[in-house]
A and B are shown apart, each in its own frame.
Chain A
Amino acid sequence: MTAAYLRLGTGAGPPPPLAAQLAAWFAQRGEPLCVLDPHGEGERDWPGDGDLYVHLDAGQRHAPDLPNVTVFGPGADGRFVRARVRPGDPEPGDRVEDLGTLPIPTYAGLGVVPPAVRILAGRGDRVRPVSHVLREIVYLCEMHRVGHLMFDDADLDAFPGWRAAFEAELAHLPWAVSWEGFASGKRIRRTATLRP
């Protein structure tokens, strides 16, 4: 079985949620996924015999321009000639229309999960069901005692009704979880309260 490799490109910060979701995807399929160099300094552990997925933040440039490399994230752009470029979305194979069918990220193999994590409400024009996002949050709270969520989405209000439904469901969790994200051009923050 050919291994897939994932390189995170976010310095010492939390792993990008797309990468975590990709890791979950491979893990659920029982395929080995190797996480390379969480500091994004290079591919020295990548033997080159399998696919390499490289997440690039805006302004990041370093990734091998090879046919079995997929670059994704804000920094993935047209300067790559041979590498596959998937701006914003690394999912392998055919496009998944129902994001609720994807496995939730568990951050298995991605190192220590901090108390504040990055998370996604959707991908491009597709939105994750609120229940799917909440399942991920339940997992993060149960396993990693996460207390703060940072949505990576450019505009949470691009998904009509989603934010209100999310806040209503979040109030039913037994933990005080705060969150932040962009909605309608504004940075919004919701503090955690002991009572819903």
Chain B
Amino acid sequence: MTLPPRLQVEVSNRCSLGCASCARHHWDPAANPIGDLTPETRAKLGPLLDAARELTIGGYGDPTEGPELLPLLRDAKARGCSVRLITGGAKLTPKLIRELADAGLDRLVLSMDGARDETLRELRGVPLKAWRKWMKAAREARGDGLRPLVQLNVVVQTGNVEELVELVELCAEEEVAGIHAFHLKAYAGATVDRCLLHDPDAARPHFAAARARAAQLGVFLHLPSLDPADVLCRQPLESMFVRHDGRLRGCCSGLFEPADFGLAIGSLDDVAAAWNHPLMQQFRAAEDEADFPAPCRTCSFRKPVLSSHLRVLGAA
């Protein structure tokens, strides 16, 4: 049975943070009950972990809130996966970072939407000193080695785009390897003008300056496209996403209910059927844009246009 080389698992959809850009503020709570990955569900991941080169732990909750975080990490390392953890830091502590490092975590991805204290407090509700503390703990945990490498995920938007250069410099100072930045998705109509695609030309000088500084300092930097050309997506060719409740998705987009923004492909009860789900086959066979599954045709990760980033949820 062929299984994907990349796997993402959500260990909880619980989160104590209140990040401004999160869909959690607007989703239907009845359709998205709070829950954690259970030991029984984790046990079903064995064949997927055996096949995967890389496991990403993260989803629509903060993984530090899930009791199965460390057991899953240990399972994955025992089975030879490279493991990265994406966290906003809800329950992240230096002690937990040490435990994660001891368990073999390869990459710690911190979600950090700015370089200044006031910006971080506004967008993430967390002070700058918290990130510096986590970065220091990761540095101490890896000693002279490489792991855990630290990376930042940034939702870049009008309120922080002018801090990109500062963020790159902070990475160099704190020995953070690089940054992946993403456009803001507007889950409420009122926030759409914060998306850089509302006025891409205003963002271009900041992007250019950040790219130049990152190249100077050896910090990798992926910025989202400001131009409307389609972005290549390979996820249904190589990835599978497991929600905390064992439901499966064929891509990382909108890992909540309703599944309008992503590919719902079944559950862990039949992994092979999910990997070969008609939506996955449709994506893989697509030659023209009209051939792709409907969610892909307007996906914000494939379409760098404002309309694709307007994802107003029913309760908004």
Interface residue ranges, A against B (CB under 8 Å): 24, 27-28, 30, 103-106, 108-109, 129-131, 134-135, 138-139, 142-143, 169, 172-174, 176, 194-196
Contacts and interface: CB of A to CB of B under 8 A. Distances in A.
29 contacts: A24-B218, A27-B217, A106-B215, A108-B212, A108-B215, A108-B216, A129-B144, A131-B144, A134-B146, A135-B146, A138-B220, A139-B177, A139-B178, A142-B178, A142-B220, A143-B221, A143-B222, A169-B145, A172-B147, A173-B82, A173-B106, A174-B6, A174-B53, A174-B84, A174-B106, A176-B53, A194-B53, A195-B51, A195-B53
B5 interface: yes
Nearest to A100: B144
Contacts of B221: 143
Interface in B208-264: 212, 215-218, 220-222
Contacts of B145: 131, 169
A131 B215 contact: no
A105 B215 CA distance: 9
Q: Is the interface of A mostly helix, strand, loop or mixed?
A: loop
A28 B106 contact: no
Interface in B179-234: 212, 215-218, 220-222
Contact of A30 (B82, B216, B222): B216
Nearest to B54: A174
Given A131-B145, A174-B6, 6 more contacts: A108-B216, A131-B142, A135-B218, A142-B220, A172-B147, A174-B107
B149 A195 contact: no
B266 interface: no
B80 interface: yes
B8 to A, nearest CB: 12
Given A173-B82, A174-B53, A176-B53, A138 B218 contact: no
Interface string B105-118: 01100000000000
Contacts of B177: 135, 138-139, 142
B218 A104 contact: yes
* B53, B215, B217, B218: residue with the most chain A Cβ atoms closer than 10 Å: B218
Interface residues of B, number: 26
Contacts of A172: 82, 106, 146-147
Nearest to A138: B177
Contacts of B220: 138-139, 142-143
Contact of B222 (A106, A109, A142): A142
A108 B168 CA distance: 15
A26 to B, nearest CB: 9
A27 B142 CA distance: 27
A27 B215 contact: yes
A110 to B, nearest CB: 10
Nearest to A174: B54
Contacts of B218: 24, 28, 103-106, 135, 139
Contacts of A134: 146
Nearest to A133: B146
Report the 7 A-B pairs with minimum CB-CB distance, sorted nearest first.
A108-B215, A174-B54, A142-B220, A131-B146, A174-B82, A27-B216, A104-B218
Contacts of A139: 177-178, 218, 220
A135 B176 CA distance: 10
A196 B215 contact: no
Interface string B127-150: 000000000000000101111010
A151 B82 CA distance: 24
Nearest to A24: B218
